[in-house]
């Protein structure tokens, strides 16, 4: 087949010249009595048109008077469209050349393809710089809008919460207790294990480094300080954001997809009161408990490291801890827990309520909720740090 690609054959030779391999699409030019005819044949289908296109390009066609398709074995709509295109291309400006010798079913396909508008719709073209500018603009605007919406959601939540404080019977206590089990009790093993390990690693690294100055005993101060002030509560918040914040978004988001939230509203139930407040309260109450547990496990991990690498006994370790770590450090960590809890719960619920229609958007909002809440938690942590230092806590 390759040898015939793009070859010109004149009139009578064409019929006898080539042994045609069944299956492949082909196109030839023949001339007789000053009339140029394109003979096409084989299978013109989506499975053969790609190579055929290169073959036709190589023929450098300009004008022809007709296209003869009597030798066509198989044709599909794509092939018919290609034939119509070819007829337009070799014809003059006014009219396409006739397509001759079509079998009935082929003629029907060609008619069908000819009726359609063949020029594919072009995507509107945007230059690279413009595209980047648009991106920056939409992103910044989106961020501003997001900030404003989150803030107004915070406000609405607080207002509803205030209403509940005035008439506490409106609090859904069963839901709160269920959620507490989910976000607190079931989170204990993972939070405990992770913070224990971090405490251990922290103490071990501290001992290694401080031993150079013969100050390895100060590793205890270091572990106590960093676990109580920062690591315990921060790690807890990050785990809770990934575990419970995302669950809040997914739960509420799925309810939105099922139109449960809309159904709720039409029955006179306030979605914020029913869905958001129980989650916020559950997290607000249990996050300090979780953070306290994390602190203790972190200290225990540090203790184990000092026992193993420093020949301390656990009693000695805790005595030293008591001696050097002021209780204020503990409070400086703990006070952050309810704040983080509030932020994680509000962001999780807010993103859940932003879900629209599709299941795809549940996934998108969940990712967004986790990223946003961890981001906010770390920003707030930095602000707290600066603030505590400036008031000398």
Partner 1 sequence: MIVGATTPEGEPKSMVLGNPPSDRPAVIRIRNLKTKFGPKEIHHHLALDVFKGEVMGLVGGSGTGKSVLLRVIIGLIRQKKGTVEVFGQNTANLHGASLRKLQSRWGVLFQDGALFSSLTVAENIQVPLREHARLTARQLEEVAALKIAMVGLPPDAAHKYPSELSGGMRKRAGLARALALDPPLLFLDEPTAGLDPIGAAAFDDLVRDLQRNLGLTVLMVTHDLDSLNAICDRIAVLLDKRVVVGPLEELLKFEHPWVREYFHGPRGRAARIDAV
Q: List contacts with partner 1 (CB under 8 A).
A: 45-51, 53-54, 76-78, 81-82, 85, 105, 108-109, 112-113, 116-121, 123, 357-358, 360
**Residue 49 C-beta: closest distance to partner 1, Å:** 5
Are the beta carbons of 15 and 23 closer than 8 angstroms?
no
Residue whose CB is less far from partner 1, 81 or 355:
81
DSSP state of 8: B
What is the helix, strand, coil percentage profile of the chain, to 5? Answer: 75, 10, 20
Residue whose CB is less far from partner 1, 47 or 218:
47
> How many angstroms separate the first and last alpha carbons of the chain?
87
Residue whose CB is less far from partner 1, 108 or 186:
108
Residue whose CB is less far from partner 1, 44 or 317:
44
Are the beta carbons of 318 and 267 closer than 8 angstroms?
no
Residue 138, phi then psi, degrees to nearest 5: -65, -35
Residue 142, phi then psi, degrees to nearest 5: -60, -40
**Residue 75 C-beta: closest distance to partner 1, Å:** 9
**Residue 8 C-beta: closest distance to partner 1, Å:** 23
Neighbour-count burial of 252, counting CB atoms closer than 10 A to its CB (0-12 exposed, 13-18 middle, 19+ buried): buried
Residue whose CB is less far from partner 1, 31 or 361:
361
Residue whose CB is less far from partner 1, 85 or 170:
85
* Conformational region of residue 217, where left means phi above 0, alpha means psi within -120 to 50, and beta covers everything else: alpha
**Residue 254 C-beta: closest distance to partner 1, Å:** 17
**Residue 146 C-beta: closest distance to partner 1, Å:** 21
**Residue 359 C-beta: closest distance to partner 1, Å:** 9
User: In this structure, what token pair is assigned to residue 204?
Assistant: 């071990």
- If we measure between CA atoms, which residue out of 71, 68, 56, 63 comes closest to residue 34? 63
CA distance 172 to 393: 38
Residue whose CB is less far from partner 1, 76 or 221:
76
**Residue 40 C-beta: closest distance to partner 1, Å:** 16
Crossing angle of helices 49-58 and 77-90, in 10° steps, is: 10
């Amino acid at each position: 087949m390759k040898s015939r690609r793009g070859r010109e054959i004149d009139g009578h030779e064409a019929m006898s010249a080539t042994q045609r391999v069944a299956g492949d699409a082909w196109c030839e030019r023949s001339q007789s009595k000053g009339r140029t005819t394109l003979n096409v044949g084989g299978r013109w289908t989506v499975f053969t048109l790609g190579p055929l296109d290169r073959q036709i390009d190589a023929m450098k066609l300009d004008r022809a008077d007709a296209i003869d398709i009597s030798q066509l074995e198989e044709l599909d709509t794509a092939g018919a469209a290609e034939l119509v295109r070819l007829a337009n291309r070799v014809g003059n400006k006014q009219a396409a050349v006739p397509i001759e010798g079509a079998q009935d079913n082929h003629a029907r396909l060609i008619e069908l393809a000819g009726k359609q508008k063949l020029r594919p719709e072009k995507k509107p073209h945007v230059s690279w710089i413009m595209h980047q500018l648009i991106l920056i603009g939409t992103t910044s605007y989106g961020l501003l809008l997001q900030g404003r919406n989150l803030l107004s959601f915070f406000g609405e939540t607080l207002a509803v919460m205030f209403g509940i404080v005035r008439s506490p019977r409106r609090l859904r206590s069963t839901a709160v207790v269920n959620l507490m089990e989910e976000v607190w009790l079931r989170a204990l093993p993972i939070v405990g294990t992770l913070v224990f390990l971090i405490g251990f690693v922290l103490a071990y690294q501290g001992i290694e480094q401080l031993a150079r100055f013969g100050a390895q005993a100060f590793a205890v101060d270091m572990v106590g300080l960093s676990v109580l002030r920062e690591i315990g509560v921060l790690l807890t918040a990050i785990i809770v954001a990934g575990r419970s914040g995302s669950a809040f978004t997914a739960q509420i988001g799925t309810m939105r997809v099922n139109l449960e939230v809309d159904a709720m509203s039409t029955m006179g139930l306030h979605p914020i009161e029913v869905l958001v407040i129980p989650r916020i309260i559950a997290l607000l109450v249990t996050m300090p408990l979780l953070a306290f547990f994390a602190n203790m496990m972190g200290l225990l991990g540090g203790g184990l490291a000092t026992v193993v690498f420093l020949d301390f006994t656990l009693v000695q370790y805790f005595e030293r801890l008591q001696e050097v770590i002021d209780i204020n450090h503990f409070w400086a960590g703990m006070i952050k827990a309810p704040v983080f809890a509030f932020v994680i719960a509000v962001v999780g619920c807010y993103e859940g309520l932003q879900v629209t229609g599709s299941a795809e958007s549940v996934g998108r909002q969940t990712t967004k909720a986790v990223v946003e809440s961890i981001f906010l938690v770390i920003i707030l942590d930095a602000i707290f740090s600066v603030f505590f230092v400036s008031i000398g806590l």
